[in-house]
A and B are shown apart, each in its own frame.
Chain A
Amino acid sequence: MRGHSQQWSRWLVISVLLMRAGTAWAAQPQIAIITAIDGPQLTLDQNTVRNVYLKKIFVDGNGQRLTPVNLPSRAPVRVAFSHALLHMDDTQLQDYWDQQYFQGVSPPYVLGSADAVVRFVATTPGAIGYVEPCQADASVRVVLTITLPAHQADDLPACPEHPAP
């Protein structure tokens, strides 16, 4: 009887731990990197996406021009993206783009909303964007998901109910 009870206790502890882990995982905010369905011929790991956004990589393997797009500068998703992937704050990015502008290289286009990013990426060959995973619909392909630190969960807007891709 005592052994049976111990077994139940063990299962209970494991279940609680799994539930806590699941809750923690679910709370981890994420950003989805999206391209068109037949997107660029490029292996998009974090470093490559970073160099595309910093305009150090201009074309994919087929010579298709890459077109990264940004959300507005104060958008929480963009701030999180810049910190997580570009490792730069607003000031550093501004200085970087001022220098690149002098070289004839312009910063990524800025679009007004996540919906605009999804529509632009879906219809523009070579375009790359970032949105919250719940905002990526079936018209685009999620090529990379970046998990952000848990403390940034409160900084990101609540995700509207969209059908997952």
Chain B
Amino acid sequence: MNRHPRRFSLPGAAALLLGLAYASGATAADDGDGSWQPAPYTLGQGLYFPGVGLRVGGYADLNFFSVQGTKTSYNVRDLSLFITQDIGTRWQLFSEIEATNPVNSTGRTDDDDAELDIERLYADYHANQAITFRFGKFLTPVGEWNLVHADPLTWTVSRPLSTSAAFSRHANGAMMFGTVPVKGNDLDYWVFADDSKNLNIGRDQDNAYTNFGTTETLQNNFRQAIGGRVLYHVLGDSLSVGASTLNYELEQPREKYWLNGIDFSWTSRYVSLTGEGIYRSSTSHSPDERGGFVQAEVPLWRRLYLIGRYERYRSSTPAQTSTIRTTAINFRPIEGVVLKLEYRDGSHNELLAPTGWLASVAVLF
């Protein structure tokens, strides 16, 4: 599937974490003059080493799926390690190293799908209150989903097509982002330039279709791109409205595209609604690509939610319009742990999001 498959060394990672945990204890003791101590470790917060400005954390998810056209399967789809390092007062380094499919059970005995990737690697420079510069490999700021796509953070196991099919999920280059006040409300902004042609970090491939059971292997890595996004918060943050625009050339097929997107998020006590939509046109004779989704999240009891999503997407490869309906349960029994169960079906969805059941257990650690 991707290049450079490597085995992920779980014992090595465990040894690293244990070593750092030991170092953390020592640091905390050195810090302590009795006046203050950082909070003890909890799931979803990472291990913090205040003496050296280092935080280590990550997430893992175990997935199960039974969808049309594939064998029933479970796998550990992602095992990600976050490392955040403060450097001085203005700089911060962040990396996410991801082992994809380190454990797989489809009846096969090979582990060709297992790989180790640099999912993100960047340095942030906090220039002032309203501007931060980011250099490296980062998530492409189009819509909300792509920026928080990790399994413990999403409402459903599957991912809407409009959040991955038409653009590269990662960019390599520079970004400026921040928050500015506009008419008494916050406006978040992102502006970025990608030069993957010369700066490709990690060299992994961005799959356009990420859903379980799909056999389509279209990849859409950027060759070069420029774009931006704004997100305006109103009604005391209960409503956010966003817009994205991108001009880019893909590595394969070597064509230029223009993408525009909108998204929103509205939260109330009894129901929350989110939605994203994109429209992509090509400078060549490729057909346009367009689609979007609307999703409702209803709290049932404490942190148990019922999710309903309707999605429609017109893809160019394959050239078809898919309609996908998803009904899901999302339960967060304790901080950092998320259990999900969902059923999806639709029309013309066999290739990109086959009908069936999906479930996952995700831990943010």
With A59-B128, A107-B45 in contact, is A102–B153 under 8 Å at CB?
A: yes
Q: Is A10 part of the contact surface with B, judged by Cβ < 8 Å?
A: no
**Among A57, A88, A99, contact of B153 (Cβ-Cβ < 8 Å):** A99
Closest to B238 in A: A87
Once bound together, how far apart are the Cα atoms of A116 and B90, in whole Å? 26
Determine the interface band of chain A, counting residues with CB < 8 A from chain B.
35 or more
**Please, what's the 1-or-0 string for A98-137, where 1 marks a CB less than 8 Å from any CB in chain B?**
1101111011011110001001100100100000000000
Once bound together, how far apart are the Cα atoms of A61 and B188, in whole Å? 19
**Please, what's the 1-or-0 string for B56-100, where 1 marks a CB less than 8 Å from any CB in chain A?**
010100000000000000000000001010100110101000000
Q: Which of B's residues lie within 8 Å of A, judged by CB?
A: 35-39, 44-46, 48, 55, 57, 59, 82, 84, 86, 89-90, 92, 94, 124, 126-130, 132, 147-148, 150, 152-153, 178-179, 181, 184, 186, 188, 236-237, 267, 303, 335-336, 364
A105 to chain B, nearest CB (A): 8
Once bound together, how far apart are the Cα atoms of A111 and B34, in whole Å? 11
Closest to B48 in A: A106
Q: Please, which residues of chain A bring their CB within 8 A of the CB of B36? A: 109, 111-112, 116, 119-120
Q: Please, which residues of chain B bring their CB within 8 A of the CB of A59? A: 89-90, 126-129
Once bound together, how far apart are the Cα atoms of A103 and B39, in whole Å? 20
Q: Please, which residues of chain B bring their CB within 8 A of the CB of A126? A: 89
Q: Please, which residues of chain A bring their CB within 8 A of the CB of B132? A: 58
Q: Please, which residues of chain A bring their CB within 8 A of the CB of B152? A: 98
With A98-B152, A98-B364, A106-B46 in contact, is A87–B179 under 8 Å at CB?
A: no
**Among B128, B179, B184, contact of A56 (Cβ-Cβ < 8 Å):** B179
Once bound together, how far apart are the Cα atoms of A64 and B57, in whole Å? 26
**Among A51, A56, A97, A109, contact of B38 (Cβ-Cβ < 8 Å):** A109
Q: Please, which residues of chain A bring their CB within 8 A of the CB of B84? A: 104, 106
Q: Please, which residues of chain A bring their CB within 8 A of the CB of B39? A: 72, 109-110
